[in-house]
Structure 1
Amino acid sequence: MQVLDGTFPPHVVRLLIDTLRRLGVSPIEFAQLPGLDPDVLQDDLVRIPTETAMRLWQLVTHATDHRQAGLLVADSFPKGHFDSWGYLFSTGENVVQSLHAAGELFPVVTDPGDILRIDEDGSQFVIHYRGGPYQDELPDDITALIDQFVMRSLLRLVNAGQSAPLVPVRLTFAHPTSVPRRELADVFGTSRIEVDAGANTMTLLAADALAPLPNADARLHQILRRHTAMHLEATRGLPSWEDKLHLAIETALSQGTPSLDAVAHRLTVSPRTLQRQLQQRETSWRRELDRARHTLAVRLLHDGRLSVQSIAARLEYADARAFRRAFQRWTGQTPDEFRRAKAAADRFTGPRFALSKAAAAPSRRPRITMPP
C-alpha cells in the first residue's frame, strides 16, 4: 500500500503537543508549524509532515532537562489512542502474530520509512525497530528520545494484551542516552540493557512470545487488520490552500454568511490578505465562490435528500431559478436533469440491477440422457 513519504499521522503529534502544554510551552512556539491547525489535528486521515513532528520533538527536548522525556511521552497515551492498530497487540493468537501484523501496518502510526519487525532467534524472539532516513539529520539526543519513546510504547502495547506483564530478556538502544541504566531498568523491568548499540531491539523468551493471549480473537484480529489497512489507504496529505478556502466558503454558506470578510475571518487572515492571496493565484473571490457552490451543489444533488429549492437556499441564491441557471452553466444540465441522469445510472449499476439480471436469466436444467 502506498503511503505519503515524509509524513506522520496525528496520533503522536497530539501526544507531543499535550506534552509541550504540560511543560508550559506557549502555543506560539509551535502553532504555525505545517499541519497543526486544530481541524487538521482532529482528522486521523490527514498525514502531517514528518518535519513538523521532529520539530515538536526538538521543542520537547529544549523545554525540559528531564532525561526521561521520551519515556514520559510514551507513558502518557491512554488506552485506544492508536485505534485499531493498537488493538492488534491484544487480539492476535500470540505476541509473535500480533507483532507481525503491527509491523506490516506500522506506517499507520509513524513515518513510512520506519521499520518494525519480529524475528525468531533460537529460544527467543527479537523485536526490531529502525527509524527512517529522516532521523539521519537529527541530533543524537533527539533520536535517543524517539528510540526510548518507541520501545517503551511497544512494551506497553504488548503488555496491554497480557494477564501479567512480560519482562524483556534484553534491550538495546541504537544511540547513546543520558538516562542512567538503573532508571531504564526500572522502566523496562530488566537490567540487561545496552546503549549506543547501533540497533533498537527488545528480546523476549519464546515461551512468552508464543503463549496464547488471553483476549485472542482470530476473527476480530482479521477485522482489525482490514480496518487498519483501509484506514491507511484512505490517508491523505495536508489540505491545499484551495481546499482550505473552499471548506471555509462551504462553512460560511451553511451559516448564511458567504462573504469575503467572513471567510477571511475563518482563515484567520485579513480581507485584504485574502484578496492578495487570490490575486497571487490569478483567481478572484467571485470565481472561487462559484467553484465552491458548484462542488457543494453536486454533492447535495447526489445526496438526494434536499429539494432543489432547499439547495438553492443553502447556496445563498436568491431563488431556485437563479440556482438552475448557475447549475446549467456549470454542467449543461438543469438540477432536475442531473438527478434523473443519476437515478438512471444507479438503476444500471446498483445491486438491484444485478439481481434483476439474475432473475431474468433463463434457468438451466441439467440435460438428462435416457438409456437406450
Structure 2
Amino acid sequence: MPIYLDGHSTTPLAPESMEAMAPWWHAQAGNPHSPHLRGMLASQAVEGARSDIASLVGADPQELVFTSGATEANNIALRGTALAALEAGIDRREIVVSAIEHKSVLASAGSLRSAGFRIIEAPVDVNGVIDIPALERLVSDRTLLVSVMAVNNEVGSIQPLADVIRVSRAARALVHVDAAQAVGKLALDCAEFDLASLSSHKMYGPMGIGALFVSAASQLRPLPVLFGGSQEAGIRPGTLPTPLIVGFGMAAKVSRTRLGADAAHSRNLSVLFLEELRSRQVQFVESVFEQNRVPGSLSLRFPGNDAMSIISRSGDRIAISEGSACTSGQITASYVLLRMGFTQKEASETVRLYFSRYNSEADATEAAVVLSEIVGR
C-alpha cells in the first residue's frame, strides 16, 4: 500500500478506536435511546465518550451535540444561529468569516443572504493567517457572528484565535470556530468560544461522526436545521451511532495523553522530509512559514510541475493531495491559495502533505525519494 500522507483529509483510524468500537457493531448493539438493558448500556457508552471528548477540548459534556461530522456542525452553527437570531428579534444582520474558511462554512453563510444577512469575508495574509486589523474594521455592532477556523484544512495555517475573540467580544458578537483540523493536534479550550465544530476522522477516530460545541454561557442557542425527534438537546435529531461515538471518544482519550508527543513526532518528520528534499537538490517553495502552521503539515509548490501530475505519478508509492478542488468534473485552482495571493499557475503547482502519528522516519525519507524522482532537480 502507498505511504499515507493525506492527513488533512482524514487521519488513519487509531487501533484503540477500532478495538473499542468492535462490540458495539454486534455483540453489544443497542439503540442508546431505548429503555431496555442494551439501550441503557449503549447510552452509558455514548455518555462516556461524550465526557472523553469534552475533556480533550475543555468543555462540559452537556455542551457537546453529536453530528455526522464537522460539515453538519458548521451548518448548524451558522444557519442555526442565524435562525435563532431572527426568531429572537435580534437586529444584527452581518456574519463575518475568514476568506479561507472550509466550504461548508462559506456555503452555509452564503445561503443566509436570502434571509437578509450580509456576509463579509475577512482577508488573510500570504501565510493564510487572518488579517486582524482588517477584522477589526469589519466587525461592528451589526455583526451577529464571527466564524474563523482554528487551522486551515489546505495549508495548515494556525489562526490567532485570541485576537479573533478579543475583536468579536468588543463588538458583542458571537464566536464560532471550525476546529476540525486542530482537535487532536493542538491544545484547544472551547470555553473561550460560543460554538466550535469538531470532526472525528481528523483526529484518528472513525468517519461519519463529529460534534458541535454549544457554550452553556452563550447568549444565543442555535435552532435545529434538521427536524425529527428531540435527541441531542433538541438541536440535532436522529438515532445516535453508538459504535462511531465510542470510537470518537476513544480517539479523544488517546489524543489527550499524546498531544505533545504527537506534535513533536509530526514536526520532526516534516523537518526530516524537507531536509531530504534539499539534499536531493529538489526545488520547492513552502506556502506557509513553519511557525505559522500546525506541526506535520506541509503545503509545497514545485515550480514547473503540475500538482495533479505529481499526485498521479506518485500514487502507487505515496498518497498525497493537491491544493485544488474538483467541481462538476473540472479542476479549479484552490480558492485558499488564490486568496493567499498565489497566481493560478502557482496554485496548480502546489501539493499538501501531513505527517501523522502513524508515519515513520522511513516514510518521510521514502516520500522525499519519490518526489525527487518525479519533479526533478
Computing the radius of gyration over CA atoms, which structure comes out larger, 1 or 2? Answer: 1
Higher relative contact order (CA 8 A, sep 6+): 2
Superposition TM-score, scaled by structure 1 size:
0.20
